[in-house]
Structure 1
Amino acid sequence: MDILHRVARDPEARAHLDASSIVVADGKPLIWASKIAGTALPARVPGSDLIWSLSAGMAGAGRSVYLLGGEPGTAEMAEEKLRERFPDIKLVGHLSPSFGFDTRAEEYDAVCDAVVSAAPDLVFVGFGFPKQERVIARLRPRLPQTWFMGCGAAIGFVAGVHSRAPGWMQHSGLEWVHRLLLEPRRLVRRYLVDDAPYALGLLAGSARARLSRNGGTR
């Protein structure tokens, strides 16, 4: 929901989304809105689930993976967890750059050079939207055969730095409450001031669109 809200008001963010080959819905309100509109999305696909399933697939195929993102030390811990789960996985590198690395040209270049030199088949990029998309846009021309996945906080979830909500909260659309309780100072404005009104507007707009469409077919 937060990404959709940003995209709606920021042309640069929209350009990053449009540049993606595959876009999935990570957020229950998006699923609810699609069902209300009568164009139901098949399922919610959280990045915190995809990082596990894609890693399993890469391990089975003998393809290489790189972990880029998270707080300092997080990617290293995530690599250890992935090796425990998938002994055959080919992890060719990990890096958790310091905060603000993308504002320091020399450090930014060094981060990109490290990823490029590893030549991975898949890079999990976890800096949050749209920062991770900017990093991907910078790396993509240098690694044209590589797949990149913007995964937000997923590297931290794998590492155990962040905990996921209980299953019942995930299924009922309350995972955001769990995250808000863990990081209130960072997320209270995003979730309650910015995103909540937008989510309500999206749901209402979906209902109006369906009613209008149904009314027009009589």
Structure 2
Amino acid sequence: MQKFSEVKVLNTRFHKLTVQDLINYIVEAGKLDKKTIVAHVNVRGINFAYQLPWYCNFINNADLVFCDGIGVILGAKILGYEIGSMHRMTCPDYIENLALACEQHNCSLFLLAGSPGITDKAIKKLQAIAPNLSIEGHHGYFDKNGSGNDSVIEKINRFKPDILYIGFGMPLQERWILDNLDKIEARVFLPLGACLDFYTDSVYRGPQWLTDNGFEWLTRLITEPTRLWERYVVGNPLFLYRVFKQRITQGMIQNCPDKR
């Protein structure tokens, strides 16, 4: 498996790679007889990692971590990394290319996400462009403990997917992976949040000129202000404050004279 250089923002790391690198890694991992976790970070995720040790450990111990947020790219640049927009990727933009790669490499895909009906819509769309893709799914609105959870895991294990996409949102999807990793017969665990909601047009992403330039969050804030104001109005400035604080601390350490 290809190795990628690491970027660390607020003690949370991700890898410097392109979307094609990501797709290649996922399908290659899907053929290995081992369990692989492919995680992602955005501003919200790094804020969670800053506050929740278990979440920080999940990200930092994942096999591969990609960046899904222009704010994280900005933070990395502030901290001195050479990195650009080509190193940021968001699932609705590449999920069809991933499906095509899975079809080409005979990798099966299980979608576990969204409200009832969302996965059915996504499967229909993906099969339209990749008709030979082996794919199944189940909605994400089930009890994550007890018999309901066991029933969903049984369905996954009957299919034995090479790639399991989990979309419950942060940090629930990561916690669910940790709690159930040993029970699930899948090779790649891929938490991707609300990707299917956007891919099936169940949730409005915003105009392409905004989404292509990293301002998808602005559309979400405008359309769902009550639910998302804290995530963006509080979370984004808090992230930047912490990044600038780290940058200043780094500068002080670098400029400190050696007293030996």
CA displacement at 1:63 relative to structure 2? 1.2
Distance 2:161 2:246 in 1: 41
Structure with a larger share of its residues in strand: 2
TM-score using structure 2 length: 0.74
Shift of 1:145: 5.3
Q: Which residue of 2 aligns with 1:5?
A: 47
Select the residue among 75, 80, 85 that pairs with 1:33: 75
Q: Structure 1 residues 84, 124: closer, same or farther in 2, change over 3 A?
A: same
Instruction: Assess if the C-alpha contact under 8 Å between 1:63 and 1:90 holds in 2.
Output: yes
1:49 aligns with 2:90: no
Which of 221, 228, 240 does residue 200 from structure 1 map onto? 240
Which residue of the partner structure matches residue 120 of structure 1? 161
For residues 10 and 175 of structure 1, the distance between their equivalents in structure 2, rounded to whole angstroms, comes to: 25
Q: What is the distance in 2 between the residues matched to 1:145 and 1:81? A: 23
Q: State the 1:50 CA deviation.
A: 4.1
The 3-state SS of whatever aligns with 2:165 is strand
User: Structure 2 vs 1, CA of residues 84 and 197 (structure 1 numbering), >3 Å: closer, same or farther?
Assistant: same
Structure 1 counterpart of 2:102, from 58, 68, 73 = 58
Report the equivalent of 2:178.
Answer: 137
- Specify every segment of 5 or more residues in structure 1 that has no aligned partner in the other structure, as ranges: none
Measure how far apart 1:8 and its partner are.
0.3
Show CA shifts across 1:32-90 (max 9, x none). 11112211345112233343332221111111100001112111111111111222211
Distance 1:55 1:206, change over 3 A: farther
Q: Following the alignment from structure 1 to structure 2, what is the Cα–Cα distance between the partners of residues 203 and 170?
A: 23
Q: Distance in 2 between matches of 1:145 and 1:94?
A: 13
Percent identical residues: 26
Output the amino acid matched with 1:73.
G
2:164 is aligned with what amino acid? V
RMSD: 2.3
Contact 1:78 1:159 in 2 (8 A): yes
Label 1:34 to 1:216 Cα distance change in 2 as closer, same or farther (>3 A): farther
* Structure 2 counterpart of 1:22, from 46, 64, 69: 64
Quick check: 1:169–1:175 contact (8 Å CA) kept in 2? Answer: yes
> Are 1:32 and 1:203, in contact at CA under 8 Å, matched by a contact in 2?
no
